[in-house]
Amino acid sequence: MENDIRAEVGLRIRQLRKNKGLSIEELAHLAGVHPNYLSEAERGKKNFALTTIEKIAKALGAAVSEFFSGRTATYSPKASRTNKLSYLLKAADDKELDFIIRTVKFIIKRK
């Protein structure tokens, strides 16, 4: 039974991550954990420290309770690019956002 809760929490994290359009590496970077650890944890192979669960929840923009609520997140491949871009932009500071805006304007003008 011990592995059941790890697998359930790992599955919910994977579902939320995919719903945001993030790779394991991207979420691991945002949460400050190693990608291998996150991968194993999503598969129910690792125990989560409470501080790690909190970091992952913050990186996903989710409440910790969502990992334990029994609800499953849905994954929409069509929305994944937009979700991913929107989510990644939330983590950018003002200087990075200004650079991104200038870059996008440059790319669009070249069409």
For 44-68, what is each residue's pLDDT tens digit? 888 888 999 999 999 998 888 888 8
Fold category of 2-109 in CATH? 434 Repressor (Amino-terminal Domain) (1.10.260)
Calculate mean pLDDT across residues 84-103: 83
Between residues 87 and 50, the one the model is more confident about: 50
Domain boundaries defined on the chain? 2-109
Cβ pair 12, 63 in contact under 8 A:
no
Between residues 77 and 32, the one the model is more confident about: 32
At 70, the pLDDT band (50, 70, 90 cuts) reads: low
Model-level pTM? 0.62
At 92, the pLDDT band (50, 70, 90 cuts) reads: confident
